Structure 1
Amino acid sequence: MSDHALVGVSTLTSTKARRGVGTGEGPDARLATEKALGEALRPLEGQQPDLILVYASVRYDLPTVLKTVNAAAGSAVVAGATSSGQLQSGRLTEPGDGVAVLALAGGGYRFGLGHATGLQADATSAGRALARAALDAAGPVRSPHEAVLIFSDGLAGDQQELLNGIHKVTGFQIPVIGGAAADDRRLAETFVFAGDRVLRDAAVAIWIGSDRPLRVVGGHGWRPTSLPLMLSGVEGQIVKELGGRPALEVFWENFRPRGGPDTTLYERAGGYHSEHAFGLIQPDGSLLIRGAFIDADGKLRTFSPMPPYSAVQVVSCEPDDLLEVGEQVVESVVGDEEPAVVLVFDCVARLDILGKRGHEEARRLQEAAGGAPTFGYYTYGEFARTTGVAGYHNATIAAMAL
């Protein structure tokens, strides 16, 4: 059974939003967090924050990070996740270092925080209880516009099933945005934060009530390189057959390493070759991206299970495609508004493809956001659900403005 708890609530305020973002680096968890927290709180000029988001490398003593934050948080809702790098205000913090903090006060928002454990045992039930706990924490008065912000253990359970459970509470009208926690590409342990708790096999949700619409936008920049194929043989995350043929044959026909077919088989960790992936074809013709790799046993795997007999295409991308789509996503959520901050959830697979151009992406995202700072982290999967039930992505960028 999952363990679910209501964690905290921040009440609706009508003042203009104030926000600050801060970063801290170096080996000492307390000092890095104090620096980031100080930078984030300074622009509030003594106003009590309503929301504090925290992203941190797994290299740090995470209980110390949260203890430091909560000592200054007052009644603010505190949540976040471990990352594979962060981006804020046009700056990239590379995987392996850094604490990033956002403090937000006012703006006509109501925040309710809940968490659920037991994703691996029953992700759907965990998602349903998670969303219900966050909604209850937001209080009995509903806002004109709402959204759900979630952080999940990136290595626990079926993330789409978690989203399915959340959908049982939110329905079609309430968008969902967020990211799966990461661990500096180690693929060992990821964690989420709820108040002063560091959690595994868990997810955290913030129910957001707002006086203005909350728009969620996602984009990926991947393009099909194959005809549609039926996923004719799949077992969990192992892809066995595509179109009735051995999956690896189709892999070698369509997944072409940039160094050519003689390139050492994917020297990256775990055999992951990020320039190619699968696109799950949706009813409207759009694609949900699923990262693909060959494991140590020579089996073709995806990072998330794909439904049997679904239609897929092999997809590929170039760095310029990713940079352009990132700008478009941020421009779309900003629109004609003047938001306080743009929340960004960016897949570490995109960072792998961009390489040194990751710093360029951070700058371009900030330029697209205008006067609002960008604040985000590199994830092991992104949540961007706006229509229907599906909304868990790989190798995608998602954003929402507050």
Structure 2
Amino acid sequence: MSTLLHGTGSSDAPAATDAGRAAATAAVAGLPGAPDLVVVFTSVRYDLPELLAGIRSVTGDAPLVGATSVGHFVGPDVTGPGQGVAVLTLSGGGYRFGVGSARGMSSRPTEAGVELVREARAAAGDHGLPHAALLLLTDGLVGGQQSVVAGAHRAAGSSVPIVGGVAADDWQLSSTKVLLGDEALSDAAVGVWIASPHPLRVATAHGWTPVGPPLLVTRAEGLVLHELGGQSAGEVFAEATGLAEAQQQGIADTVVESSYALGLIQPDGSHLVRAVFSGPCGELNTFEPVPTFAAVQVMSAEQSTLLAVVDDVAAGTVVTGSERVLLTFDCAARQTLLGELVAEEVDRLQREAGRATVFGLYTYGEFSRSRGAGGVHNATLTAIAL
């Protein structure tokens, strides 16, 4: 089995073309020829077509995918929101990569998932490799993320794990982009079919813990939760988190609402974390739909429990022991909650990854599907090793 060749580069140069060219030049420096795949994570502060032109002036016509971020990391080095671009190049290792995309994601998310998988799988060509995974990147502000995953799952099959992230925009919440070749796309999703000679394993964990009994969602509409157990969802959440008492005492600013979330209870007893925020009329707003009659629990997170999952995620991706890249998707909510400990999280990832280089994106949502058709997460860390 040949060893995967890879390179990384980053730049925070103020001019988009200069930043793209500098990061790409560093990323291809150790490769014997053109890369088989280029992955780009970048701040939205750049003129993205100019940035991509700078990268492709170095990488040529090699397939390129990527997403805008709310920060990213290469090895142990963290780049915060609004501060630069990172480039990863991949070549060899017995892998075959095929890129696919779908536009109009907001109006046909399930079809978009099917379409991009079919295109990406076909682009990988004839290879005879027995295993595969799908890398998925989507526009972060159009909704329908779970439907895209469901469509991708339908087209890829249950044996193909899905990993990836939702594009971000430095917390501006105005325009996120996915990257494809020399284009920065809105309302779109891109995917990479990764054909492999050995199994590929996606690892996921969040470190959130339940703080109350299970609750039944009794009224929900889209991204709005109106009732939990027949009562106002916002009031139930405030009571469970201590926010209500703090408000009564006039010290609500001492309660960090973002350190609480809802956990959507799965059949195996695990939780899919759903970040929530209170609305003005007693409702809870979510970033992914939580269906009526779903069972949920209020969840809390502390820095120590968030950090405790890092080692397991890195170790859980290893299959052969010869992996060279740990491709990682980390939620922007974790970034906020960890605060000054963000660097420690990434440093731990790199230590556990050993000879593999960590290359990661801070996202507005994470994809991880190894079984079932679910796979959209909030406030979660997920990774795959190549």
Q: Please name the residue that 2:335 is paired with.
A: 351
Change (3 A) 1:210 1:335: closer
1:19 maps onto 2:3 in alignment: no
Q: Please name the residue that 1:201 is paired with.
A: 187
> Quick check: 2:201–2:319 contact (8 Å CA) kept in 1?
no
Q: Please name the residue that 1:384 is paired with.
A: 368
SS of alignment partner, residue 157 of structure 1: coil
Query: What's the CA shift for 1:338?
Result: 2.2
| CA distance in 2: counterparts of 1:98 and 1:260, whole angstroms | 39
Q: Please name the residue that 2:163 is paired with.
A: 177
Select the residue among 294, 309, 312 that pairs with 2:293: 309
| CA distance in 2: counterparts of 1:297 and 1:25, whole angstroms | 43
SS of alignment partner, residue 104 of structure 1: strand
Q: Please name the residue that 2:137 is paired with.
A: 151
Q: Please name the residue that 1:372 is paired with.
A: 356
Deviates more, 1:232-241 or 1:256-265: 256-265
| CA distance in 2: counterparts of 1:336 and 1:140, whole angstroms | 24
| CA distance in 2: counterparts of 1:263 and 1:348, whole angstroms | 26
| CA distance in 2: counterparts of 1:308 and 1:341, whole angstroms | 40
Select the residue among 17, 29, 34 that pairs with 1:30: 17
Query: What's the CA shift for 1:288?
Result: 0.6
Q: Which amino acid aligns with 1:154?
A: G
SS of alignment partner, residue 305 of structure 1: coil
Change (3 A) 1:145 1:259: farther
Change (3 A) 1:266 1:115: farther
SS of alignment partner, residue 372 of structure 2: coil
Q: Aligned pair count?
A: 384
> Quick check: 1:124–1:165 contact (8 Å CA) kept in 2?
yes
SS of alignment partner, residue 206 of structure 1: strand
Q: Which amino acid aligns with 2:7?
A: G
> Quick check: 2:226–2:232 contact (8 Å CA) kept in 1?
yes
| CA distance in 2: counterparts of 1:257 and 1:136, whole angstroms | 52
> Quick check: 1:90–1:363 contact (8 Å CA) kept in 2?
yes
Q: Please name the residue that 2:40 is paired with.
A: 54
Q: Which amino acid aligns with 1:228?
A: P
> Quick check: 1:257–1:263 contact (8 Å CA) kept in 2?
no
Q: Please name the residue that 1:284 is paired with.
A: 268
Change (3 A) 1:23 1:311: same
Q: Please name the residue that 1:274 is paired with.
A: 258
| CA distance in 1: counterparts of 2:243 and 2:343, whole angstroms | 24
1:254 maps onto 2:240 in alignment: yes
| CA distance in 1: counterparts of 2:257 and 2:100, whole angstroms | 36
Change (3 A) 1:202 1:245: same
Change (3 A) 1:33 1:395: same
Aligned counterparts, 1:326-337, within 5 A: 326-334=310-318, 337=321
Change (3 A) 1:108 1:227: same
> Quick check: 1:121–1:157 contact (8 Å CA) kept in 2?
no
Q: Please name the residue that 1:398 is paired with.
A: 382
Select the residue among 279, 282, 303 that pairs with 1:319: 303
Deviation digits for residues 117-148 of structure 1, max 9, x if unmatched? 11111211111111111111111444211000
SS of alignment partner, residue 275 of structure 2: strand
SS of alignment partner, residue 95 of structure 1: coil
> Quick check: 2:233–2:282 contact (8 Å CA) kept in 1?
no
Q: Please name the residue that 1:39 is paired with.
A: 26
| CA distance in 1: counterparts of 2:322 and 2:2, whole angstroms | 15
| CA distance in 1: counterparts of 2:168 and 2:245, whole angstroms | 28
| CA distance in 1: counterparts of 2:328 and 2:129, whole angstroms | 23
TM-score normalized with structure 1 length: 0.92
> Quick check: 1:155–1:190 contact (8 Å CA) kept in 2?
yes
> Quick check: 1:182–1:380 contact (8 Å CA) kept in 2?
yes
SS of alignment partner, residue 130 of structure 1: helix
Change (3 A) 1:86 1:204: same
Q: Please name the residue that 1:123 is paired with.
A: 109
| CA distance in 1: counterparts of 2:257 and 2:79, whole angstroms | 23
Query: What's the CA shift for 1:264?
Result: 4.5
Deviation digits for residues 285-332 of structure 1, max 9, x if unmatched? 111111001246663101111111111111011111111112210111
Query: What's the CA shift for 1:110?
Result: 0.6
> Quick check: 2:263–2:273 contact (8 Å CA) kept in 1?
yes
> Quick check: 2:69–2:169 contact (8 Å CA) kept in 1?
yes
Query: What's the CA shift for 1:255?
Result: 2.4
| CA distance in 1: counterparts of 2:217 and 2:99, whole angstroms | 38
Aligned counterparts, 1:102-113, within 5 A: 102-113=88-99
Deviates more, 1:153-162 or 1:33-42: 33-42
Q: Please name the residue that 1:67 is paired with.
A: 53
| CA distance in 2: counterparts of 1:217 and 1:43, whole angstroms | 28
